[in-house]
Amino acid sequence: MEKIFNPSSIAIVGASEKTDKLGSVILKNVIRSGFSGKIYPINPNSTEILGLKAYKKVSDIKGKVDVVCIVVPSRYVLDVVKDCTKKKIEGLVVISAGFSEIGPEGKLLEQKVQIIANKHNIRVLGPNCLGFINKHNSLNLSFAADKPLKGNIGFFSQSGAFCTAMLDMSIPKNLGFSHFVSIGNKSDINELDLVEHFLEDKKVKVISAYLEDIVDGSLLIQKYEQSKYRKPLIILKAGQTEESKSAIESHTGAIAGSIDMFKTGTSQVGIIEAENTRQLFNYMMTFSWSKPMNGKKVAIVTNAGGPGIVATDSIIKGGLQMAKLSKSLQKKIQKFLPPESSSKNPVDIIGDAKAERYQYPIDILAKNDDIDAVLVLLTPQHVTQIEETAKIILNATQMYEKPIVPVFLGKKQTSVGTQIFYDNYIPVFTEIDDAVNSLKVLSDYTTRVENFSKREVNKKWKKIISKEKGKHFKEVEKYVKKTPRILPDEITEKLALEMGFTLPRQIITKKMKDVVEFAKDKYPVVLKVGNEVIVHKTDLKGIYLNIQNEQELKKAYEQLSKNILKKLKKKTFTVVLQEQLTPKVEFFIGANRDGDSDVYKPDIPGFGHLVVFGKGGIYTEIFEDFGYVLVPASKEDIKKSLEKTKVFQIISGARGQKPLNVEKVLDQIYKVQQLTLLYPQIISLDLNPLIITQEDTIAVDIKAFVGR
């Protein structure tokens, strides 16, 4: 990786003097960027290109070559790579398109190229990429029309076009980058490599990315969480709808993973998700330029009441807090304001405010230890001194060690002010919500870093991905096939007891006499067909509730036998008989696996298991009251996610009701994730309903699907 981004010599295969050729553009970019190393143009039809000696092939070069950039039609790439092996090249940048993004034929060619590269320990960036720019090495090995300004952001993108768009946005706003990398089809170098590299690179303060798929979500989260370097990682993840997923397949040959798993897993470890291009840019600017925000309390200074109210709403809705200003603090501020103004938060210095009226309240608020950030709003009114006010705010940002964030509403008149901030590397916004949103992620990140060492799960990764297996691993393995298969109730019961789940008194059998005998002192009871017979019991009338006596039980069993014989042509089948419980609250816990059963091993694609929980019963999907954690999650992660659900309010004792056993619910969710780690063959797991009482939680129905 270091050799690729910091080479001392570069060969460009496909270099040309023809201005319409990409090879010409890339060669000119390398020369113009001020690269101080050796440059070798490769073209079998030229002896000299742009004043540099040209070679027919890479192996003809006598000197050492660190990186080879390939810009020829895909059908020639394999031969070029074979030639590169003769020179013991360590890095390739394959610009050429025509690989996995075009279909099976291209994918096969890509695989052939990568096999040779792997055999000779050659790292490959691309194919189908724009190239890269390293500002700290004065190297533009790309065909981008512009080059970024020098800064501290390591940016990479799966889309070359997205790179150029982000580049075009950044230049007029003075946002600088350390690296600008297009990763294309990711046949070798991918987001895992770049995140790890940028975390270790001291020149990189912020890591940012546009991704369409993630090679190994579980490992990405693990690497970020385990790294000793704490840096913000911002990701804009495309492919969040079914329609966009098909577009991704045609774009880079990638297949998008579950967006719920991405959102849950990244938020657990503090990776920041940008929902759109504007957010991505705002977050990069904020983390690149802003000072840390050590709390959630925000004070507002504004020259207009309306925007102050809008900002207040945005702060509260966004999960921040309005700072409370003491009476003495308000008196201090009011001394320097006209009588019509307000010294409460938001501090309204009214519409005739000139630049000097901003200064004193900003100073007082910024000095106060109970305020974590100051939001300064300006609207362009007739007497507003935009440039002068910007300079006063700029001075304050340099004096105080907390974020002082200007929001200059408007565009034409306020642009002179916003440019002052851009020129001095101060985050500035033209929309209130953008500013508040950026403050929120800044505050959350600072809190996450401070609490990071306390995360119990951070210390348990090695144990979690060890070879530890469940007691009944071999039994479960017998049911594992390529396609999903449901575990029989007998096996599911064993797993439940191993994990310490409370079950109703029940019997699993194929004989009516066993059912009748077991039910004697347990009425009312529930009779249901076994999961391995049919999963959705209501589809077959496979469940009978509120059975009060032996006569009703025999009748239900006979009817169930007829239903199964008629629909499934089976004479013998498994049934489950349970005591009937009266639920106070029905809850559910489920789990779904992304990736195969080896997903927790290194370098295996997938995020692993997502555990989901919420309001249970037959209307689970209708309520859509869900919390999520990605395995492995700490108990604190689980608690935070549970507290966001509406059902949490109910089990905690809403409307004067006695609280139910919340701690047991948390424990059951934690045990479900343990179960998925002990038995990674589980594709999906469903505890629904889980009945919650004041004393316990009881798993009434458990379904587990396993598969490779």
CATH at residue 45: 3.40.50.720
CATH number at residue 325: 3.40.50.261
Q: If you ran DSSP here, which 8-state letter would residue 186 be given?
A: -
Looking at residue 246, what is its pLDDT?
47
pLDDT digits (tens, 9 = 90+) for 127-156: 999 999 999 999 999 999 888 999 999 999
Looking at the domain assignment, is residue 85 inside a domain? Answer: yes
Does 552 share its domain with 658?
A: no
pLDDT tier at 249, thresholds 50, 70, 90: very low
Let me know whether 216 and 245 are in one domain. yes
Q: How many CA atoms lie within 13 A of 671 on its CB side?
A: 17
Distance between CA atoms of residues 691 and 588, nearest Å = 8
pLDDT band at 161 (very low <50, low <70, confident <90, very high): confident
Are 298 and 370 found together in one domain?
A: yes
Same domain, 567 and 585: no
Same domain membership, residue 637 and residue 493: yes
Tell me, what's the pLDDT at 49?
96
Within-domain flag for 116 = yes
Residue 697 resides in a domain: yes
pLDDT confidence of residue 536: 59
User: Long-range pairs for 46-52 at CB < 8 Å and ≥24 separation?
Assistant: 46/15, 46/16, 46/17, 49/15, 49/16, 49/17, 50/17, 52/27
Q: Does residue 575 carry a pLDDT above 50? A: yes
Q: In the listed set 546, 580, 614, which residue is the last one of a domain according to the structure?
A: 580
pLDDT at 457: 57
Do residue 386 and residue 295 come from a single domain? yes
Task: Look up the CATH number of the domain holding residue 551.
Answer: 3.30.1490.20
Boundary-marking domain end, from 519, 549, 580: 580
Domain boundary among 237, 254, 276: 276
| pLDDT at position 244 | 41
In whole angstroms, how large is the CA radius of gyration of the chain? 31
Q: Rounded mean pLDDT of the chain? A: 90
Q: Are residues 302 and 435 in the same domain?
A: yes
Q: Cβ(164)–Cβ(130) under 8 Å?
A: yes
Rounded to 5°, the CA angle 80-85-89 comes to 95
Tell whether 137 is covered by a domain: no
DSSP state of 55: B
Q: Are residues 543 and 439 in the same domain?
A: no
List the one residue out of 667, 205, 634, 221 whose CA is nearest residue 451: 634
Same domain, 609 and 635: yes
The CA distances from residue 548 to 511, 554, 689, in Å, are: 19, 11, 21
Question: 362 versus 162: which is more confidently predicted?
Answer: 362
Could you tell me the residue range of the domain that residue 537 belongs to? 505-580
- The model's confidence at residue 252, banded by pLDDT at 50, 70 and 90, is very low
pLDDT tens digits, 415-473: 999 999 999 999 999 999 999 999 999 999 988 877 765 555 545 555 555 557 889 99
Percent with pLDDT over 70 in the chain: 93
The number of distinct structural domains making up the chain is 5
Please tell me whether residues 8 and 93 are part of one structural domain.
Answer: yes
Q: What mean pLDDT do residues 54-62 have?
A: 97
User: What's the pLDDT at 256?
Assistant: 37
Are 157 and 235 in a shared domain? yes
Whether residue 169 is contained in a domain is answered as yes
Q: 570: closest CA among 581, 580, 561?
A: 561
Which band of pLDDT confidence, cut at 50, 70 and 90, is reported for residue 110?
very high
More confident residue, 692 or 535: 692
Report if residue 283 sits inside a domain: no
β 485-486/702-706 pair status: antiparallel
- The pTM assigned to this predicted structure is 0.89
- pLDDT at 254 (0 to 100): 39
Q: What is the pLDDT of residue 635?
A: 86
Tell whether 678 is covered by a domain.
yes
Q: What is the model's pLDDT at position 247?
A: 47
670 pLDDT above the threshold of 80: yes
In a domain, 62, yes or no: yes
Tokens 């009251």, residue?
A: 625
| Type of residue at 494 | K
* pLDDT tens, residue by residue, 282-333: 999 999 999 999 999 999 999 999 999 999 999 999 999 999 999 999 999 9
Report pLDDT for 227: 85
Output the pLDDT for position 241: 54
| pLDDT tens column, 6-25 | 999 999 999 999 988 999 99
Residues 553 and 646 in one domain: no
Residue type, position 423, single letter: D
Omega within 30 of 0 (cis) for the link into 524: yes
Say what the pLDDT of residue 618 is.
67
Predicted confidence (pLDDT) per residue in 480-496, tens digit: 987 888 999 999 999 99
